[in-house]
Amino acid sequence: MLEQRIQQQFFDSADLKYAAAEVLTRPVSDAAQVLLNAITSGGKVLACGNGGSAGDAQHFAAEFVGRFERERPGLAALSMSTDTSILTAIGNDYAFDQIYAKQVQALGQPGDVLLAITTSGNSANILEAIDAAHQKDMVVVALTGKGGGKVPGALNEGDIHICVPHDRTARIQEVHLLVIHCLCDAVDVSLLGE
Ligand SMILES: O=C(CO)[C@@H](O)[C@H](O)[C@H](O)[C@H](O)COP(=O)(O)O
Ligand SMILES: [Zn+2]
């Protein structure tokens, strides 16, 4: 019974990855180009998310700054979900929905990219970060699911929306990680060749 349930989760995750390949290949490719444009012009990527997506933001930054699969110089990226003093000070003194927006205001420069990760598309701190990024003339790459929630209404022309076609948070996160690896791979291939 439990084993059947576990096996079904593997199947569901694999099915979703096949379905997502159909609809996400183009926006993921567009997002890779946005990231490449930023880092080859001296820009950086600021990443954010809540819960599992905070972990995804860190995972992305680790592979940009450290390395992905091949040796290359580090690429400029920062996860905004890691500094507990910053997060608690802003959350405590302002509001939790400002924890990322304040960091974008402090660190963002025109031409930088905000990688905004939210499975529901409705987390207030992510929506505030998107607004702050636009005020800094940054481009936004948004990873969402569940139809994107409020994210599509918050994006500008030139931003990229990668919306996983599923309603379950865990399954969406599993595809977000695949998307992050696709972005790292695409950037590496563009910089280093096949
Ligand atoms: O990882 C999980 C569930 O798999 C949770 O920690 C989940 O990330 C949290 O509930 C988040 O607060 C959800 O936020 P969001 O993806 O809707 O923006
Ligand atoms: Zn990885």
Domain boundaries, given as residue ranges, for the chain: 2-192
Looking at this predicted complex, what is its ipTM? 0.98
Token code pair at residue 179: 């998307």
Q: Class of the 2-192 domain?
A: alpha beta
Task: Give this prediction's pTM.
Answer: 0.98
Ligand 1 centre distance from Cα of residue 171 (Å) = 11
Query: pLDDT tens digits for 43-93?
Result: 999 999 999 999 999 999 999 999 999 999 999 999 999 999 999 999 999
Ligand closest in space to the Cα of 96: 1
* 85 assigned binding-site residue: no
Whole-Å CA distances, 20 to 9, 12, 98, 143, 185: 16, 12, 32, 13, 18
